[in-house]
């Protein structure tokens, strides 16, 4: 499974088929979002300026840094067109998740059904979130199997964000960090490219079966 942890979720197959189905054959007149939080992103300030890459030498940066606080990024990746709805908040409790759900709600026309792919983090299933869902019946929640965050396409966007905007950055404070995240997402949304999912549920299940067989031989 390419380094991924095998899920022991008893409903793994059911959840897998549900989510892959949303990727490959999304429902008509609806929008599908892959959602998650990238929590506790640190505003790291390198102790010395890095040296840029030049001919014959790689770019450099110091191994040590100063910490200037954290932020949590909430993001919803539109599976069809690749655009991202996002907000940064100091924490990632159910209160912040509800604010983010309301942000999504204001950005999607009221006549559209909304399908949200989320992980099993307790915040996403909080009692107040369930009550919100009952008041907003056009929102449909789909939860990934346990230990299967790789099924959520927004994780690929988070990886790109880290590699392209955060990994080599130096941030003097949290606002500086949030500014860099916002700038990256705004640029992404100006020319969005959807992440194409190609693997069928049967393809994935075959890989899982082979991985389990190898695991049992250890």
Burial code (b: 16+ CB inside 10 Å, e: under 16) for 153-186 equals bbbebbeebeeebbeebbbeebeebbebbeebbe
Classify residue 27 by its DSSP letter.
P
Cα separation, 108 vs 91, in Å, equals 24
Report the relative pairing of strands 113-118 and 139-143 from DSSP bridges. Answer: parallel
Q: How many CB atoms lie within 10 A of CB 22?
A: 22
Going by C-alpha positions, the residue among 164, 182, 186 that lies closest to residue 174 is 182
Domains of the chain listed by start with CATH number: 12-45+63-217 (3.30.420.10)
Query: Tokens 């942890």 label which residue?
Result: 5
Q: How high is the pLDDT of residue 54?
A: 56
Reported pTM: 0.85
Phi, psi of 180 (to 5 degrees): -65, -40
Query: Tokens 């949030």 label which residue?
Result: 178
Per-residue pLDDT of the chain (218 residues; tens, 9 = 90+): 445 567 788 899 999 999 999 999 999 889 999 999 999 899 887 654 554 555 554 544 555 457 678 999 999 999 999 999 999 999 999 999 999 999 999 999 999 999 999 998 999 999 999 999 999 999 999 999 988 889 999 999 999 999 999 887 888 899 999 999 999 999 999 999 988 899 999 999 898 888 777 766 76
């Amino acid at each position: 499974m390419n380094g991924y942890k095998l899920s022991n979720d008893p409903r793994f197959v059911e959840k897998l088929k549900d989510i892959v189905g949303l990727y490959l054959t999304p429902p008509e007149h609806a929008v599908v979002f892959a959602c998650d939080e990238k929590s506790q992103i640190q505003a790291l300030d390198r102790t010395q300026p890095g040296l840029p890459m030049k001919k014959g030498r790689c770019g450099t940066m110091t191994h040590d840094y100063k910490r200037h606080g954290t932020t949590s990024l909430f993001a919803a990746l539109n599976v069809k067109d690749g655009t991202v709805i996002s907000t940064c908040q100091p924490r990632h409790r159910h209160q912040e998740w509800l604010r983010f759900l309301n942000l999504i709600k204001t950005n999607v026309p009221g006549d559209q059904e909304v399908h949200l792919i989320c992980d099993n983090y307790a915040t996403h299933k909080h009692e107040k979130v369930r009550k919100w869902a009952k008041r907003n019946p056009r929102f449909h929640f789909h939860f990934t199997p346990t230990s299967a965050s790789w099924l959520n396409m927004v994780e690929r966007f988070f990886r790109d964000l880290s590699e392209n905007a955060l990994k080599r950055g130096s941030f003097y404070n949290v606002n500086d960090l949030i500014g860099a995240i916002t700038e990256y997402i705004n640029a992404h949304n100006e020319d969005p490219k959807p992440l194409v999912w190609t693997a069928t549920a049967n393809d994935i299940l075959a890989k899982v079966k082979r991985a389990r067989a190898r695991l049992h031989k250890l």
